[in-house]
Amino acid sequence: MEIAKFLEKQEINFKNIKFYITAFTHTSYVHESKIHGVESYERLEFLGDSILGHIISEYIYEEYPEFSQGSLTLLRSALVKKSALSKVGKELHLEKYINIGQGEDKSNLSPSVYEDVFESLTAAIYLDLGYKSARKFVYRIVLHNLEHIYIDDLKDFKTKLQELLQAESGKSAVYKTINQKRINNIMHFKVEVSFNGQVLGAGSGKSKKEAEQAAAHEVYTKMAGK
């Protein structure tokens, strides 16, 4: 079975294959199927959405202790948004394993299907193997790309802050690294952002660029009243 091969490739030592068959079953297939008891992934998707959000929230809360609630919320949103999960689903080539109706085209699935199936797969792992296994899967598949996704999502905040400041005086913000340290072989940076010689705020991250974006986000949020 192709799904079993996929799971083995992803280092998922499954016990009950039925959970995963359901996770890869589209509603269109259920409507056409003559097999009794066939269920689509919709209920698993509902559960997977909550599990995924919890896993990611737990991770970023522990890994980014200096982030404010606003920054944590922004980061979580970046990781669970449709485009991010769809991208992961496409990288995993989930379309190869989805059971869909004859009227559907596997080569042209909507991004939402990739997102739905990834959430359903997360739920299937949780139900079959438990929370720790689901967390391990999400960490390996989603969170390894954390900085890239984060920077893509926050890349406009330095620009937004600069536009806000220049509208008042025409001068530029200055970013300065005030601390950098290695924790568990991972670098952590803290950056201050100043304007007219006055420190407006600070941000932290695992690269200077990430820390600058976090600092810009903090200050922009305060100044713009977001």
Domain end point (choices 151, 186, 209): 151
Domain shared by 101 and 183, yes or no: no
Give SS3 for 99: strand
Counting residues of the chain whose pLDDT is more than 70, the rounded percentage is 87
Residues 75 and 171 in one domain: no
* Same domain assignment for residues 40 and 126: yes
**Are 54 and 162 found together in one domain?**
no
Distance between CA 129 and CA 134 in Å, rounded? 7
Note whether 88 and 141 are within 8 A (CB).
yes
* Enclosing domain of residue 209: 155-224
- pLDDT, residue 162, reads 85
CB atoms within 10 A of CB 152: 13
Question: What is the pLDDT, as a whole number, of residue 209?
Answer: 82
Are 119 and 163 members of one domain?
A: no
Q: How does pLDDT run across 117-148, given as a tens digit for each residue?
A: 999 999 999 999 999 999 999 988 887 666 56
Q: Are residues 37 and 62 in the same domain?
A: yes
69-80 and 42-63 helices, crossing angle to 10°:
140
Single-letter amino acid code for the residue at 182: R
pLDDT tens across 151-163, in order? 555 556 888 888 8
49 labelled catalytic: yes
Residues 145 and 78 in one domain: yes
Q: Which of 45, 116, 119, 218 is catalytic?
A: 119
Q: Which two tokens stand for residue 175?
A: 């970013």
* Active site annotation includes 45: no
**Residue 26: pLDDT above 80?**
yes
> Of 49, 153, 192, 212, which one is the catalytic site residue?
49
Q: What is the DSSP string of 25-85?
A: B-HHHHHH--STT---SHHHHHHHHHHHHHHHHHHHHHH-TT--HHHHHHHHHHHHSHHHH
| 35 pLDDT above the threshold of 70 | no
Question: What residues have CB less than 8 Å from 186, skipping those under 6 apart?
Answer: 206
* Average pLDDT of the chain to the nearest whole number: 85
Do 95 and 172 reside in the same domain of the chain?
no
Helix, strand, or coil here: 156?
coil
In order of 3, 62, 102, 167, the CA distances from 108 in angstroms are: 20, 38, 13, 45
Nearest residue to 68 via CA among 225, 215, 226: 215
Q: What is the tally of structural domains in the chain?
A: 2
Distance, CA of 161 to CA of 219 (rounded, Å): 7
pLDDT tens per residue across span 75-110: 787 777 777 788 889 989 999 999 988 766 777 788
Q: Point out the domain boundary residue: 151, 183, 207.
A: 151
Q: Answer yes or no: do 74 and 115 share one domain.
A: yes
Q: Which pLDDT belongs to residue 54?
A: 94
